[in-house]
Amino acid sequence: MRAQSVTEILNVASVEIAMKPVLVLRHVPFEEIGSLADYLAAAGLAVDQVDCFGPDWPNLVQAGFDPEQLAGLIVMGGPMNVDQTDEYPFLATEREWLRAAVAAGLPTLGVCLGAQMLARSLGAVVRPNPVKEIGWYEVEQLEAAADDPLFAGCQRYETVFQWHGDTFDLPPGGVHLVRGSTCHHQAFRLGPAAWGLQFHLEITAAMIADWLAEPEMCCEIDPLDYIDPAEIRRRTPDGLAAMAPVTRRVFGRFAALCYERASATR
């Protein structure tokens, strides 16, 4: 079934109905959902954002994860590695939830670390990429993207924002959608409704400014002589403009899938 666009959704007589929420999991305070929030709001979706490092996390774990009570699941990025479960125990819990979400066909989106977590949850290896990708990069849509529910209609080459040092193998059954020249696995789909994106379509100019000023992220850049923060800032206006069409398609369609899920199960 074709996913409705956000425009089609907003033409429905009323979207002000009681709906199951989209659950957003954050790993660090500076990893916001950025522009993705606008697409979820435009679709009339409620959003429950929980910080895995915050006081609400134990209550969420105690309540348990039930995909049938959600419209979607979004797992954001972070500087940790997926296998640092001793230092960050919430990562092990998230793996279980991601497996359950995929099995239930829940619309699921993993961004950066979230994509690595999605791959790892289904048995794939996550390891350091040969180089860290930080800044604006060109990626290539593969043949499988042509009829993908999120990526269909995107240009063959798109400009996206990156900030990562790790990469992942495709999990069993994963469909490779987007590749890059310095990091092969950039986006994939699992089952009918779960996607992992290594890049940051949600990024905004304000977020980039904050990340480039964040002490932890500055420490990551400082040893890398091939990364120039000034060049990233210079390219940001044009980069955001170039990325806007793919952001609209991917996030608009994902929000529509969440809306359909909530509407079908409310």
Active-site amino acid positions: 112, 200, 202
d(C-alpha 187, C-alpha 151), whole Å: 10
d(C-alpha 91, C-alpha 8), whole Å: 37
Q: Which residue intervals of 35-183 are DSSP H helices?
A: 36-42, 57-63, 90-104, 113-121
Q: Identify any residues that bridge with 180 across adjacent strands, giving them in sequence order.
A: 139
Q: 181: how many CB neighbours lie within 10 A of its CB?
A: 10
Q: Which two tokens stand for residue 67?
A: 């995909």
For residue 136, which of 37, 234, 38 has the smallest C-alpha distance? 234
